[in-house]
Amino acid sequence: MAVVELSIVPVGVEGTSLSSYVAQALKVLETASLEYQLTAMGTIISGDLDEILATIRKMHESCFSAGSRRVLTYIKIDDRRDKAGNPKQKVKSVMDKLSG
């Protein structure tokens, strides 16, 4: 299972608010069978890497459909194959070490 951090930034849009573009991209993500967590600075997605990448492509394209003429998409991938993991487990592992 992969854990991916994603940030999509539409460029050259009117105004400074990007929340409508983020909402449009999240509508695409909600149609996938992936777990995700929206954060203030991006989105964390976990699941099958092929499905994640295909979904990211659709999310990226959704910004063009919403009127952006340029889109920057930042992707960070943690693809661990020796054991299953997820975002909550990764955070718990660090927190356990802090308290131990």
The answer to whether 56 and 6 are in contact (CB under 8 A) is yes
| Residue 28: per-residue pLDDT | 97
Three-state DSSP class for 68? coil
Indicate the burial class of 56 (C-beta count within 10 angstroms; 0-12, 13-18, 19 or more).
Answer: buried
Pairing mode of beta strands 2-11, 43-47 = antiparallel
| Residue 53: per-residue pLDDT | 98
Pairing mode of beta strands 35-38, 70-79 = unpaired
The tens place of each residue's pLDDT in the chain, 100 residues long, gives 899 999 999 998 888 889 999 999 999 999 999 999 999 999 999 999 999 999 999 999 999 999 999 999 999 999 988 888 788 888 888 999 998 7
Q: Which of 37, 40, 46 is nearest to 3 (CA)?
A: 46
Provide the whole-model pTM: 0.88
For the chain, domains (ranges, CATH) are 2-99 (3.30.70.930)
